[in-house]
Amino acid sequence: MARELRKTGHGNVFNAMTKATRDLRELSAPSIDPLPEAVRIDGKTCLVTGANSGLGRAAAIELARRGGNMLLACRPGHTGVADEIGRLSGSDAVALIDVDLSDLRSVHRCCDDLQRRGVRIDIALMNAGVMSRRSQKTPQGYEVMFAVHFLANRVMIDRWLQDGVISPARVGGETPRVVFVASDSHRSAAAIDFDRFGSYAQHGMSESMRRYAESKLVLCTFAAELSRRLNPTGNVEVAVHALCPGGVATNIVKEAPRALRPIFNAWLRRFFQSPTEAIGPVVHLCCAPEAGNSTGMYLHMMHRKQVSPDAADPHNGARLWEASEPMVARSGESA
């Protein structure tokens, strides 16, 4: 019974915010120190999804400030974000790429563009996320959180590896990195239902956090499996990592009932980290030398942890890979 109760998800926005607040207040001293200013990534090409707001925006500013050549992969309609991030970081190497991760046709167009331009990505920060108040169906018929948190990432990374946009390191060469912004809520999710994997099902606000946690479990399982598949011999050819930034004051409050938004806004300002305060684990995994020489790291804020046993299980990873292969194949048919 205890296991079943633990695996019901956070339930709603209020429960999720309570859990995140408790995590911020109760965690022991960080096991990882902030990365020194002297650690730079001059000349490295960094792509950040969801860079127009929140954690992605703060991370893009910091990576640009440390010398990265930035590609900001954002939904259409954010034309001023590259200029803003360039101004705030002092960098003139910031460019915008339009991509709607909820539409796999847009994902393929973005990949086509990167291939045509001969882009070579050194650091990919897969940050974009969504928490929908109610179920939303994507143009390809998937639930939007499943599509944005997992399937779009799977399709993009498959394309990048096929197209040479990400190239596994050769002996003595620089190791490219793929870093996923996940969530510790994946620990509360029920085991992946592979019989209904990817199937669309309607849900209301009362189930939104449970569905969010489930999509993050899928993401963490994918990250662990990707790390195994790209580094089969033990030599790190592509460093694959994931993190949970902890409670961050972002636009999650828009999914709360309208009458409660002022209360939640005040709560976020009082107890949660700002995006700038929360980017420590992002910067570490994207920039720290140790993160380029290893793979499969998971950080919860600035603490080393392991993903849940379900996410780490190679059997689950193999099943997820096999179950999503037809989805990846179909994604190219409508591109």
- 332 within some domain: no
- Are 240 and 182 within 8 A, CB to CB? no
| Cβ–Cβ < 8 Å for 253, 233 | no
Q: Write down the pLDDT at residue 6.
A: 43
Cα 204 from Cα 218, distance rounded (Å): 20
* Number of domains forming the structure of the chain: 1
Residue 334 lies in a domain: no
Tell me how far apart the alpha carbons of residues 198 and 234 are, in angstroms, rounded to a whole number: 31
Half-sphere exposure of 313 (CA within 13 A, CB side): 12
The domain in which residue 277 lies consists of 2-325
Tell me, what CATH number does 24's domain have?
3.40.50.720
Closest to 209 (Cα-Cα) out of 151, 260, 153, 252: 252
Please choose, from the candidates 224, 122, 115, 223, the residue with its C-alpha nearest in 3D space to the C-alpha of residue 159.
Answer: 115
Q: For each of the chain's 335 residues, which pLDDT tens digit applies? A: 233 334 545 555 556 656 665 665 566 677 899 999 999 999 999 999 999 999 999 999 999 999 999 999 999 999 999 999 999 999 999 999 999 999 999 999 999 999 999 999 999 999 999 988 888 999 999 999 999 999 999 999 999 999 999 999 976 678 999 999 999 999 999 999 999 999 998 887 777 889 999 999 999 999 999 999 999 998 999 999 999 998 776 765 565 556 556 666 666 666 677 899 999 999 999 999 999 999 999 999 999 999 999 999 999 999 999 999 999 999 987 65
* Residue 331 belongs to some domain of the structure: no
Please, are residues 59 and 51 in contact by the beta-carbon 8 Å criterion?
yes
pLDDT at position 2 is: 33
